[in-house]
Amino acid sequence: MKTEVVGSRALREDSWGKVFGQTKFPADVNLPNQIYGVVVRSPHPHARILNINSEEAMKLEGVAVVLTANDVPHNSHGVLFRDQPVIADYVRMVGDPVAVVGGETMEIAREAAERIRVDYEILPAIFDPEEAMKPEVPPLHPELQSTNVLYHLPIRRGSMEEGWAKADVVVEQVYKTQHVDHAFLQPEAVLAYLDERGHMVVQTATQYAHYDRGEIAHALGFRYSQVQVKTLAVGGAFGGREDISLQIIAALLALKTQRPVKMENTREESFYSHSKRHPMTMYYKTGAAKDGKLVAMQAKIIGDAGAYSSWSINVLRKSAVHATGPYEIPNVEIDSFAVFTNNPYTGAMRGFGAAQTVLAYESQMDLLAKKLGISPLEIRLRNCFQVGSITATGQELTSSVPLDQCLAKIAPYFRREVETP
Partner 1 sequence: MMVIECIVNDKKYVLEVDPQERLLDVLRNHLGLLGTKEGCGEGECGACTVILDGKTVNSCLVLAGQAHNSVITTIEGVGNRQSPHPVQKAFVEVGAVQCGFCTPGMVLSAKNLLDKNPHPSDEEIGVALSGNLCRCTGYDKILRAVKLAAEEGK
Q: Which is nearer to ligand FES, 5 or 11 (CB)?
A: 11
User: DSSP readout, 64-105?
Assistant: EEEE-GGG-SS--B-SSS--B-SS-SEE-STT-EEEEEEESS
Q: For partner 1, which stretch binds (CB under 8 A), given 18-26, 119-127, 130-138, 172-180?
A: 18-26
Binding-residue pattern over the window 170 to 209 for ligand FES, x denoting contact by CB under 6 A: ---------------x------------------------
Binders of partner 1 among residues 134 to 153 (CB under 8 A) are: none
Q: Is 350 in the site for partner 1 (CB under 8 A)?
A: no
Q: Is 17 in the site for partner 1 (CB under 8 A)?
A: yes
| Mode of pairing for the β-strands spanning 200-204 and 227-231 | parallel
User: How many degrees, rounded to 5, is the angle at CA 271 between CA 75 and CA 113?
Assistant: 60
Phi then psi for residue 315, to 5 deg, are: -65, -45
Binders of partner 1 among residues 106 to 125 (CB under 8 A) are: none
Report what 224 binds from ligand FES, partner 1, none; CB cut-off 5-8 Å by kind: none
Q: Which is nearer to partner 1, 20 or 413 (CB)?
A: 20
Q: Is 25 in the site for partner 1 (CB under 8 A)?
A: yes
Q: In angstroms, what is the minimal distance from the CB of 186 to ligand FES?
A: 8
Q: Is 233 in the site for partner 1 (CB under 8 A)?
A: yes
Report what 418 binds from ligand FES, partner 1, none; CB cut-off 5-8 Å by kind: none
> Do 285 and 167 meet the contact criterion of CB atoms below 8 Å apart?
no
- Measured in whole angstroms, how far is the alpha carbon of residue 150 from the centre of its chain? 15
Q: In angstroms, what is the minimal distance from the CB of 180 to partner 1?
A: 12
| Mode of pairing for the β-strands spanning 35-41 and 261-264 | parallel
Q: Is 211 in the site for partner 1 (CB under 8 A)?
A: no
Other Cβ atoms within 10 Å of 363 Cβ, number: 16
Q: For partner 1, which stretch binds (CB under 8 A), given 60-68, 179-187, 360-368, 399-407?
A: 179-187
Phi then psi for residue 235, to 5 deg, are: -85, 60
Q: How far apart are CA 307 and CA 340, in angstroms?
A: 6
Considering only 2, 3, 8, 14, the residue that binds partner 1 (CB under 8 A) is: 14
Q: For partner 1, which stretch binds (CB under 8 A), given 193-201, 207-215, 233-241, 320-328?
A: 233-241
Q: How many residues bind ligand FES (CB under 6 A)?
A: 2
Q: In angstroms, what is the minimal distance from the CB of 180 to ligand FES?
A: 17
Q: Which is nearer to partner 1, 233 or 358 (CB)?
A: 233
Q: Is 236 in the site for ligand FES (CB under 6 A)?
A: yes
Across 189-222, b (16+ Cβ under 10 Å) vs e yields bbbbbbeeeeebbbbbbbbbeebbbebbbbbbeb
Q: Which is nearer to partner 1, 39 or 321 (CB)?
A: 39
Q: Is 184 in the site for partner 1 (CB under 8 A)?
A: yes
Dihedral, 241, 315, 125, 76 alpha carbons, nearest 10: 50
Q: How far apart are CA 73 and CA 237, in angstroms?
A: 29
Binders of partner 1 among residues 265 to 294 (CB under 8 A) are: 266-267
Binders of partner 1 among residues 329 to 348 (CB under 8 A) are: none
Q: Which is nearer to partner 1, 186 or 319 (CB)?
A: 186
Q: Which is nearer to ligand FES, 11 or 185 (CB)?
A: 185
Q: In angstroms, what is the minimal distance from the CB of 412 to partner 1?
A: 22
Q: In what order do the strands lie in the sheet with 294-306?
A: 149-157, 331-340, 294-306, 280-288, 169-176
Nearest-CB residue for ligand FES: 185
> Do 205 and 191 meet the contact criterion of CB atoms below 8 Å apart?
no
Q: In angstroms, what is the minimal distance from the CB of 35 to partner 1?
A: 15
DSSP 405: H
Q: Which is nearer to ligand FES, 138 or 236 (CB)?
A: 236
Side-chain half-sphere CA neighbours of 281 within 13 A: 10
Helix, strand and coil in the chain, % to nearest 5: 30, 25, 45
Residues that bind partner 1 (CB under 8 A): 11-12, 14-25, 27-28, 182-187, 233-238, 266-267
Residues that bind ligand FES (CB under 6 A): 185, 236
